[in-house]
A and B are shown apart, each in its own frame.
Chain A
Amino acid sequence: MKKNVTYIIALLAIILLGLFIQAKSSVFYDEPVLRVEKVEANSSEKTQKIEGKLLNQKGTVMLETTYYENESVSPLYRKGNQLILQKSANHWQVLALKRDGYVFILIGLFILTVLFISGEKGIRALIGLILNSSLLVLVLWVNQRNNGLSLLFLMVIYTIIAVFLAMGTSYGFKKLEVRKVFGTLVSVFLAFLICLVAMNLLKDSGLRYEEMQFITRPYRSVFLAGLLIGAIGASMDNVVTIISALDEIRIQNEQLPLKKLVRSGRKIAQDTASSMINVLMFAYLSGAIPSVVFYLANGWNFSEVIGMHLSLEILRTLCGGFAIVLSVPAALFAFSMAEKWERRAIR
């Protein structure tokens, strides 16, 4: 009961603090922040007139900005919204809607949910999450500074460290096992190689890179780097599930022949594999929904648009699928090799 009260207080604190940041943080901004007082939308002229007071400077501002009724570029601003502005050649431009407090609430809610459900294990999962994302940023930073090191090479190194980190934080560094790390790495790299070889041999036919957004580097290397790390989690999950289950069976029945064990391992994987592929498929594909609908509304041909916006996401799903499916033989192989070595050592 006491625990629940603590969490309710924490929840309220996060929401209140978030709203406070949202309302008051403008003093930390160098750019002028505007509080919207009045909005007049004119959908035929595709503009909205905004009037408001500057919060971190003196004065009031009137400005006009684009507005389409479907809110494709900017939403209809409302009284009380805060906008970050920029002055260029005597007229004001909206840089962004201020969202910092809401982002704080969002992250706070996520952390609180994980802690509430899983306590100490939740902390470990969160630490793993933070370490792995910071490491990724660090590796990308190294890549930015040293043009000599290719992005893909650095991502290969990242993959190896990330598997150690993720396993260590979730299951304990003391329990870190060669079998599980080996199984994961083999399945991830093999899956990536299969895709890479197919892409090279078929000269990327059917792949449409032109819809990749946010490109500052050669697009193919950015895509390949993302392809490699996308499947690490899924394959790790599968490998750990299989090997832990086999360990469990082995403890209960030491005499069971290896062949039978391998068969039950395959059965366990059967239940998880296809729903894991579904997890990746929907997580990847769903981002394309608005763009596809938008292009279709502009009169583009259906199959053309599907190919344009989904080809790379489908390839990501396929690569993840390979990693998940291959993690079954990789885990079984790692398990049986370790067992054979152990037996030999005892003799």
Chain B
Amino acid sequence: MSVLICLTLILMGLMLLIFKKSSIYMITGTFANFCLFILLLYVLSKGFPVYPVTFLIFLGVTIVTLFYINDFNQKTKAAFLCVLFFLVVFTIATLPIIQLVKVHGFAMEELDELQMLDLSAAVPFSTLNLSIILMSFSGAVIDSSMAVSSSTYEIYHRTERLTFKELVHSSMSVVHELLSSTINTLLFAFMGSSLALIIWIQDLNYSFLEIINSKAFVGELLISLLTGMAAVIILPITSLVSSYIFFNQHFKNIEK
């Protein structure tokens, strides 16, 4: 039996044991997200335009994570709005730097392994780079947004006679709490996955100037830092927007 299947089964068993019934949503939802990712790969390989496809899959992942795994309520609706708004603004704001560093395509260090393949195959490497970055921060942005939105909701409903300013203030203190844990989560994940590259750079004695110009390193750095920035910037945005929504009870009528 394959290691992956075996471990997946054990993980599912553990989740059932610890979270009981609600683990069904977690398992099926995570699996649905995985399938969406595979669908993304399939559709991209068929040559469909990268930006709209990535955007749609991102939307799908957001809907599954917020409305299926969590629930369809005020908190998730507020988070959904924030994620959408953020996706558009952040993409437009970071496009220039992604264009400038030109880290798409394969690095020189990788070329040896690709000799058997046709390097001129019709693959839009430059736009795929944006696809990597968007998918990389999708999970983190949704997670951050959901965390702030539900804490703000709790604060609003637990504390009586809160002014809008006070609500934003308490919600921002949650933002400060979440910031460092978000950064740590991503830091260790990216260090773990680029460990091979770090060892490579050390073993081959790259100089400082070689490191900061190399496509392989700058490529990893770009993805890690943009993902980190995305996961951090969404925090205050959600804090403001969800405070505003809860304070003005925008969604109350729809829910009832």
Contact = CB atoms under 8 A, between A and B. Distances in A.
Partners in one complex: yes
Nearest to B26: A274
B4 interface: yes
Contacts of B129: 290
17 contacts: A72-B105, A73-B111, A95-B213, A96-B108, A100-B212, A136-B191, A198-B3, A202-B6, A216-B204, A229-B191, A271-B70, A273-B15, A273-B19, A275-B65, A275-B139, A289-B41, A325-B14
A72 B120 contact: yes
Contact of B5 (A109, A121, A206, A290): A206
B195 interface: yes
Interface string A226-247: 1111111110110011000000
Which 4 A-B residue pairs are closest in the complex by CB-CB distance? Answer: A230-B192, A206-B2, A233-B188, A274-B26
B203 interface: yes
A125 interface: yes
B195 A318 contact: no
Given A290-B129, A293-B45, A216 B199 contact: yes
A107 B211 CA distance: 14
A11 B92 CA distance: 18
Given A70-B121, A282-B139, A283-B186, A140 B131 contact: no
A128 B14 CA distance: 32
B35 to A, nearest CB: 12
A122 B14 CA distance: 35
Contacts of B203: 144, 216-217
A32 B254 CA distance: 66
A302 B42 contact: yes
Interface string A120-134: 011011001100110
Contacts of B138: 282
Contact of B213 (A100, A313, A318): A100
A234 B25 CA distance: 20
Nearest to B29: A274
A117 B237 CA distance: 10
Interface stretch (B81-89, B161-169, B214-222, B244-252): B214-222
A287 B132 contact: yes
Nearest to B223: A287
Interface in A184-226: 194-195, 198-199, 202, 204-207, 212-217, 222-223, 225-226
Contacts of B100: 102
Given A228-B192, A296-B41, 18 more contacts: A73-B105, A96-B214, A96-B215, A107-B221, A136-B198, A171-B180, A198-B6, A232-B188, A234-B189, A237-B181, A241-B181, A270-B19, A282-B139, A283-B227, A290-B132, A294-B121, A315-B7, A326-B14
Given A75-B104, A274-B30, A226 B196 contact: yes
A308 to B, nearest CB: 12
A232, A269, A274, A292, most chain B CB atoms within 10 A: A274
Given A298-B117, A326-B14, A279 B185 contact: yes
B253 interface: no
A320 B237 CA distance: 28
Contacts of A74: 105
B213 A297 contact: no
Contact of B197 (A75, A213, A229, A316): A213
A28, A72, A121, A302, most chain B CB atoms within 10 A: A72
B191 A277 contact: no
B95 interface: no
Contacts of A302: 42, 45
Interface string A97-128: 11110110111011001100111011011001
Interface in A46-96: 46, 68-75, 84, 95-96
Contacts of A144: 202-203
Nearest to A320: B189
A169 B194 CA distance: 23
Nearest to B2: A206
Contacts of A125: 179-180, 183-184
Contact of B225 (A106, A231, A271): A106
B229 A140 contact: no
A42 interface: no
A141 B99 CA distance: 34
A214 B109 contact: yes
Nearest to B192: A230
Interface in B112-145: 113, 117-126, 128-129, 131-133, 135-140, 142-143
Contact of A297 (B123, B186, B189): B123
Nearest to A25: B209
A280 interface: yes
Contact of A271 (B61, B150, B181, B232): B150
Given A121-B180, A285-B37, A311-B4, A103 B26 contact: no
Interface in A250-279: 266, 269-279
Nearest to A81: B102
A322 to B, nearest CB: 6
A162 B210 CA distance: 28
A129 B191 CA distance: 11
Contact of A46 (B22, B120, B121): B120
Given A100-B213, A297-B123, A283 B111 contact: no
